[in-house]
Chains A and B, each alone.
Chain A
Amino acid sequence: MGTIIWTTIGAILTLSVYSFLYKDNPFYKFAEHLVVGISAGYYLVIYYYNFIDPNVVTPVFQLRLGDQAIGFGSGAWWLALIPGLLGLLLYTRFFPKVAWVARWSLGIYVGGYAGLGLSPVMQARVIEQIGANALPLTSVTNVLIVVGLLGTLAYFFFSMKHKGILGVFARTGIVFLMVGFGASFGYTVMSRISLLIGRVSFLLHDWLHLV
Chain B
Amino acid sequence: MNVFEKMLSIDRRWIFLAIGIAVIVPFFFPLGLPVVVTPPVESLYDAVDEIHPNDAPLLLSIDYAPATLPELEPMAMAILRHAFEKDVNVVVMTLHPAGYGLAERAMLDAAEEMGQEYGTDYCFLGFQPGTSAVILGMGVNIATVFPEDAYGTPLAEIPMMEGVRNYDDIPLVISLAGWSAAEAWVYYAYQPFGQAVGAGVTAVMATDFYPYLSSNQLVGLLGGMRGAAEYEMKIDNPDKGVQGMDSQSIIHIMIIILIVAGNIAYFGARRRKKLEEAEAA
Contacts and interface: CB of A to CB of B under 8 A. Distances in A.
B154 interface: yes
B191 interface: yes
A92 interface: no
Nearest 6 A/B pairs, CB to CB: A198-B70, A132-B215, A194-B225, A191-B203, A120-B187, A66-B147
A25 interface: no
Interface of B: 13, 16, 19-20, 23-24, 27-28, 67-71, 97-98, 100, 126-129, 132-133, 136, 143, 147-148, 154-156, 186-188, 190-192, 202-204, 206-207, 211-212, 214-217, 223-226, 240, 243-244, 247-248, 251-252, 255
A200 B248 CA distance: 12
B147 A50 contact: no
A189 B247 contact: no
DSSP class of A's interface residues: helix, strand, loop or mixed?
Answer: helix
Given A46-B100, A124-B187, A190 B192 contact: no
A183 B23 contact: no
Contact of B128 (A51, A119, A191): A51
Of A66, A193, A204, A205, chain B has the most CB atoms within 10 Å of the CB of: A193
Given A50-B128, A193-B251, A66 B148 contact: yes
Interface in A167-201: 180, 183-184, 187-191, 193-201
A28 to B, nearest CB: 14
A129 interface: yes
B133 A116 contact: yes
A67 B154 contact: yes
B187 A201 contact: no
B98 A42 contact: yes
A193 B248 contact: yes
Nearest to A202: B70
B13 A22 contact: yes
A201 B13 contact: no
Contacts of A43: 97-98
Given A197-B244, A200-B23, A201-B244, A129 B211 contact: yes
Nearest to B24: A200
Contacts of B154: 66-67
B224 A191 contact: yes
Interface in A14-54: 21-22, 39, 42-43, 46-47, 50-51, 54
Contacts of A66: 143, 147-148, 154-156
A201 B225 CA distance: 13
Given A66-B143, A211-B27, A51 B215 contact: no
B25 to A, nearest CB: 10
Contacts of A133: 215
B207 A184 contact: yes
A180 B28 contact: no
A191 B23 CA distance: 14
A191 B5 CA distance: 30
Given A129-B215, A189-B252, A194-B224, A54 B71 contact: no
Contacts of B69: 198
Nearest to B154: A66
B206 A187 contact: yes
Contacts of A46: 97-98, 100, 127
Given A39-B98, A50-B129, A120-B187, A183 B207 contact: yes
B191 A123 contact: yes
